[in-house]
Amino acid sequence: MKTDLKSKLMESFQMKDLGEARFILGMQVQRDRGNGTISIDQEQYIKEILQRFGMMDSNPVSTPVDLNQIISKEMCPKNAEKTAEMKNVPYQEAIGCIMFAAQVTRPDLSFPVSCLSRYNQNPGKSHWNAIKRIFRYLKGTINTKLVFNKNSSNNLLGYCDADWASDTDERLSTTGYVFKLQGAAISWSTKRQPTVALSTTEAEYMYVISDPRSFVVTTSLR
């Protein structure tokens, strides 16, 4: 069946059969046929961005976010001198590099990159230090993989949750969800809710109303 599919595709497109996939767009694919697993990681890509931003020799940390620090607009530069200090800091470039990892194989980066990307236009030193903490976290978790196992449940599992007013700038709540299949994540997202919730209960219901996909998640989870 695979051979027939390849033959049909080759009739319509210019293509070559290079065998089993090993590296695709910065992703490394590894198969363990004995254990029935396929793992996907971006170890080489992460090494490259750590080198690029001078963080390869940094001390690793166990979490991507410092829970004792509140990120807000108050940390943005408020005068020309402080703005000039941040002019040559590659903040947006770093956000883009981390976002690629967060979208492809690292759902654990979805929340911090979502928070810090809000300050792309006028980042401060504290925002940049938070970016460097993510790099330090990547240094310590460089071998993290998505591992799909044929022996794991083939039921689609979904999890979601919402906090209440964690965004101190606009008092918006944040919702996150993740779908898992065969033991690993296949879809995930973190984003702010569009309107202000007045309680934790309202924050939970508000997301279900604003994004119908969350109803599938909550009903399969609860």
**How confident is the model over 130-166, as pLDDT tens digits?**
999 999 999 999 999 999 999 998 899 999 888 888 8
**Per the confidence metrics, is the pTM higher than 0.85?**
no
Are 89 and 195 members of one domain?
no
Q: Which domain holds residue 71?
A: 18-151
Are 98 and 160 members of one domain?
no
- Output the six-digit token pair for 75: 């940390």
pLDDT on residue 173 = 87
Q: What is the pLDDT of residues 101-137, one digit of tens each?
A: 999 999 999 999 999 999 999 999 999 999 999 999 9
Position 8 in a domain: no
Are 24 and 130 members of one domain?
yes
SS3 87: coil
pLDDT on residue 136 = 98
SS3 14: coil
Position 6 in a domain: no
CA 169 – CA 125 distance, rounded (Å): 18
Are 52 and 130 members of one domain?
yes
pLDDT value at 212 more than 80: no
Closest CA relative to residue 89, chosen from 125, 52, 51, 36: 125
Are 221 and 125 members of one domain?
no
